[in-house]
């Protein structure tokens, strides 16, 4: 066991074991497997070395934000979604604000901000649209104006 791993294994946590109610929860590396429902499909996600608090007495684990993020990042890679960093970097490379990109995609600023922060997974359909938007200038041009509204006469 390396020094860094040894420290993680003995670092105490503020939680009690879920089943035993003892203060024997410490940071540990566990092999973790779960199923996640995404876009109406069930995916099995495996993280072989997830660092998360675990009770040494009853064995239960405590899911902390960092562990949840690691699981979500693993799912994102597994199903081929753009990462939060890729979305942000590609948007910035085009000189667009979050508000501008959200408007062009027809989504809320809040949703786009959540995708870029890694707080939420973008739907697969939006991921495909983002891929097209970033890859093809003609898609960006087309989405710059409301399609189908140009040249229409409104009835009075």
Q: Once rounded to an integer, what is the mean pLDDT over residues 124-129? A: 97
Q: What is the pLDDT of residues 66-114, one digit of tens each?
A: 999 999 999 999 999 999 999 999 999 999 999 999 999 999 999 999 9
Task: Check: CB of residue 51 under 8 Å from CB of residue 67.
Answer: yes
Q: What is the pLDDT of residues 44-56, one digit of tens each?
A: 999 999 999 999 8
Q: What is the pTM of this model?
A: 0.77
Q: What is the 3-state secondary structure (H, E, C) of the chain?
A: CCHHHHHHHHCECCCCCCCCCCCCEEEEEEEEEEEEEECCEEEEEEEEEEEEEEECCCCCECCCHHHHHHHHHHHHHHHCCCCHHHHHHHHHHCCCCHHHHHHHHCCCHHHHHHHHHCCCCCCHHHHHHHHHHHHCHHHHHHHHCCCCCCCCCCCC
Calculate the average pLDDT of the chain.
87
Which of 79, 109, 126 is the C-terminal boundary of a domain? 79
Q: Same domain for 68 and 119?
A: no
CATH of the domain at 30: 3.10.20
Task: Check: CB of residue 55 under 8 Å from CB of residue 25.
Answer: yes
Q: Same domain for 10 and 62?
A: yes
Q: How many domains does the chain have?
A: 2
- Is 37 within a domain? yes
Whether residue 8 is predicted with pLDDT greater than 70 in this model: the reply is no
Whether residue 41 is predicted with pLDDT greater than 90 in this model: the reply is yes
Q: Same domain for 91 and 121?
A: yes
Question: Which tokens in the block code for residue 1?
Answer: 């066991």
Domain that holds residue 12: 3-79
Q: Same domain for 90 and 62?
A: no
Q: Same domain for 89 and 102?
A: yes
């Amino acid at each position: 066991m390396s020094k860094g791993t040894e420290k993680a294994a003995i670092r105490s946590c503020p939680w009690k074991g879920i089943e035993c109610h003892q203060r024997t929860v410490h940071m540990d590396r566990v092999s973790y497997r779960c199923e996640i429902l995404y876009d109406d499909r069930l995916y099995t996600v495996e993280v072989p070395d997830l660092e998360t608090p675990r009770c040494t007495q009853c064995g239960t684990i405590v899911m902390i934000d960092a562990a949840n993020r690691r699981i979500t990042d693993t799912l994102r890679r597994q199903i081929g979604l753009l990462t939060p960093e890729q979305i942000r970097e590609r948007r910035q490379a085009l000189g667009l604000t979050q508000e501008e990109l959200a408007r062009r995609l027809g989504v809320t600023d809040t949703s786009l901000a959540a995708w870029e922060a890694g707080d939420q997974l973008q739907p697969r359909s939006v991921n495909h649209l983002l891929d097209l938007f970033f890859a093809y200038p003609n898609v960006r041009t087309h989405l710059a104006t409301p399609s189908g509204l140009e040249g229409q006469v409104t009835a009075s």
